[in-house]
Amino acid sequence: MLNARETVMKWVFFVSALASILAIALICLFLFVNGVPAMAEIGVFSFLLGKNWMPSGGIYGILPMIMGSIYVTAGALAVGVPIGILCAVYLACFCPKHIYRFLRPMVELLAGIPSVIYGFFGIVVVVPLVRDIFKVQGLTMLTASLLLGVMILPTIITVGESAIRAVPGPYFEGALALGASKERGVFFVLVPAAKSGIMAGVVLGIGRAIGETMAVIMVAGNQPRMPAGILKGVRTMTANIVMEMGYAADLHRGALIATGVVLFVFILLINLLVSLLRTREKP
C-alpha cells in the first residue's frame, strides 16, 4: 500500500514538473513564433538600434526603450542596493529580537504590496516631491528609479539576510578571537563570505526592476525617445508593450511581441547569472 502511494505521488510530482516546463515552452514558442518574423521584417539592427518609435509611420526602433529600461534599473539599484544590503546586515547581526519580530514582517509586507499601489504612492508623494525640489514636471527617470529602488528592497533584504546567516559561525567567532570588533567582524568577514548570496539577491532585484510595468507607467513620463537626463521622462520596454498592445495590429503588434522577446532574453540572462552566482564557491 505504501509503495503504491509513493508511486502515485511520484507521478503527480512528475506531471506537475512537466506542466511547468510545458507552460514555459508554450510562452517561448508564442514569443519567438510571433516576434522573430516581425523583427526580421523590420530588420534586426533597425529594430534593436533604431532611435525612433513611430508606428504610424512604420518606424519601429526600440533603442530608446532598451536604454530607458537600463537607466531606470541602474537608478533603482543605486537606491535599493546600499539600503537593502545594510538592512540585511542589521537584521542578521545587530537587530534586537523584540525589534526583529516587527521589522522582518514589515519587510515581507513590502513584497506583497501590488505594483499599482506603489505607482499610486509615486504619483501622490514622489512625483510632487521631485517637482517641488527640482522644478520639473515630476514624471521623470529619477521618480521611476526612486520608486523601483523601494520595490526591490524586499528581494535584496531577504536574500541578503539569508546569505549572511548561512555563513558558518566559526568565521565570525574566529574574527572576534583575533581581536576584531563586532562591526569589523561583520563587514570584513561575514559580508565578504556571503557575497555570492548577496549578489544573487541583487541580480534578482535587477530582474524585478527591469520587468516592472504598472508602477513605471504611472511615474516615468512614458516618452518614447532617447533618455536625455534623470529629470526627463522615459519609456521602458514593459511600458511600451502594455501601453500599445491594446490597439496594435499587424506589424505593430509583431514589433511589440518582438520587444517582449528582447525583454525575455534580458530576463533569461539575469536568471543565468543568478544560477552562476549560486553555483560559485561556497563559504
pLDDT recorded at residue 278? 67
Please, which pLDDT band fits residue 20 given cuts at 50, 70 and 90?
A: confident
Cell of 182: 563586532
**How far is 11 from 277, CA to CA, in rounded Å?**
32
Give me the half-sphere count of Cα atoms (radius 13 Å) on the Cβ side of residue 60: 26
Longest dimension (CA), the chain: 74
> What is the torsion angle, in degrees rounded to the nearest 10, for the CA atoms of residue 250, residue 49, residue 74 and residue 135?
-80
Name the residue ranges covered by the structural domains of the chain. Answer: 53-278
Chain segment 64-91, per-residue pLDDT in tens: 999 999 999 999 999 999 999 999 999 9
Percentage above 70 pLDDT, the chain:
97
Please, which pLDDT band fits residue 197 given cuts at 50, 70 and 90?
A: confident
Beta bridge partners of 221: 234
Beta bridge partners of 54: 59
**How far is 35 from 49, CA to CA, in rounded Å?**
16
35-71 b/e (C-beta count within 10 Å ≥ 16 → b): beebbeebeeebbeebeebebeeeebbbbbbbbbbeb
Mean of pLDDT values over 18-38: 89
Mean of pLDDT values over 162-176: 88
pLDDT reading at 220 higher than 80: yes
pLDDT reading at 2 higher than 60: no
The lowest-confidence range among 101-105, 236-240, 269-273 is 269-273
Taking the CA atoms of the chain, what radius of gyration do you get in angstroms?
A: 23
pLDDT recorded at residue 172? 86
Helix, coil or strand: residue 251: helix
Cell of 216: 513605471
pLDDT recorded at residue 88? 94
Match 516618452 to its residue by C-alpha cell: 223
Mean of pLDDT values over 121-130: 91
pLDDT reading at 151 higher than 90: yes
Mean of pLDDT values over 166-193: 88
Provide the 10 A C-beta neighbour count for residue 161.
Answer: 26
Cell of 76: 533603482
pLDDT reading at 215 higher than 90: no
What's the angle, vertex CA 270, arms to CA 267 and CA 274, rounded to 5? 135
Helix (H) or strand (E) holding 218: helix 214-219
pLDDT recorded at residue 257? 92
Please, which pLDDT band fits residue 283 given cuts at 50, 70 and 90?
A: very low
Beta bridge partners of 234: 221
pTM of the model: 0.86
Topology annotation, domain 53-278: MetI-like fold (1.10.3720)
